[in-house]
Amino acid sequence: MTQTDSAQNLIALLQLAYSAELAAAYAYRGHWHSVESAEERTRIKQIEDEEWHHRELAGQMLESLGARPDRQREIRALIIGRVLAVLCHLMGWLPPMYGAGRLESRNVGEYETAARYARDCGRDDFIDCLLTMAEVEWEHEKYFRSRVLAHPLGRRLSLWPEPPPKEMIRELFYREAEASLELARASS
C-alpha cells in the first residue's frame, strides 16, 4: 500500500469516526437521561463528553489532512443518534447497555487501524492521540460489559468478544512497527 493509499484510508476512517462520535454522543445523552442510578448517570454523561472530545480530535486531524467531514454521514449520524436517544427511554435498562458495549468494542479496533494508517502515511504526530482514543474506547467497552454482567439476564446472554488487555493496544502497535522497520531494513 502506498503512502497516498494510507492517507486516503486514514481520511475515510476519520470521516467515519467523526460522524460515529456524533451519533454516539447523542445516543449517550439519551442513555444517561434514561437511567435512574446517579452513578450510572455520571459515568455515561462522562462517556458522552469523551465522545464529543473524540469528535473534536478527529475533526482537527481531518482538517490537518486537508479533508472535510462527509455530509451524508453527518446527516445519517444525526438521525441515528437522535433515534437511539429516544429508544433508550423505551427499551428498558439492559438493551442500551448491551448495544453500547458491542459498539464500543468495534471502536477500539477502528482507532487502532487509524493509528496504523497514520504511521504508514507519515503522520506520526497523530499516533499517540489515536492510540489514546482507542484506550478510552476500551474503557467504555469495559464499563458497558460490567453493567451487562451486573444484570441477572445479562449474565445469561452471549456477549461480544472481550478485547485483549488495554496495555496490548500500544504494545502490539509498537511491536508491529518495529517488525515492519526490520523487514524494510532487511530488504534494502
| Interaction site with Fe ion (CB under 5 A) | 51, 54, 104, 137, 140
Candidates 86, 85, 105, 87; CA nearest to 44 is: 85
Nearer to Fe ion, 33 or 175 (CB): 33
Counted residue by residue, the chain has a size of 188
Q: How far apart are CA 57 and CA 68, in angstroms?
A: 13
Candidates 37, 132, 23, 153; CA nearest to 87 is: 23
Q: Hey, what's the cell of 176?
A: 508491529
Nearer to Fe ion, 170 or 177 (CB): 170
Nearer to Fe ion, 152 or 165 (CB): 165
Nearer to Fe ion, 7 or 114 (CB): 114
Phi, psi of 127 (to 5 degrees): -60, -50
Amino acid letter, residue 148: V
Q: How far apart are CA 110 and CA 54, in angstroms?
A: 13
CB of 144 to Fe ion, least distance (A): 9
CB of 41 to Fe ion, least distance (A): 17
CB of 15 to Fe ion, least distance (A): 14
End-to-end CA distance of the chain: 17
CB of 50 to Fe ion, least distance (A): 6
Nearer to Fe ion, 35 or 177 (CB): 35
CB of 177 to Fe ion, least distance (A): 23
CB of 52 to Fe ion, least distance (A): 9
Nearer to Fe ion, 29 or 54 (CB): 54
3-state secondary structure of 11: helix
Q: How far apart are CA 117 and CA 7, in angstroms?
A: 7
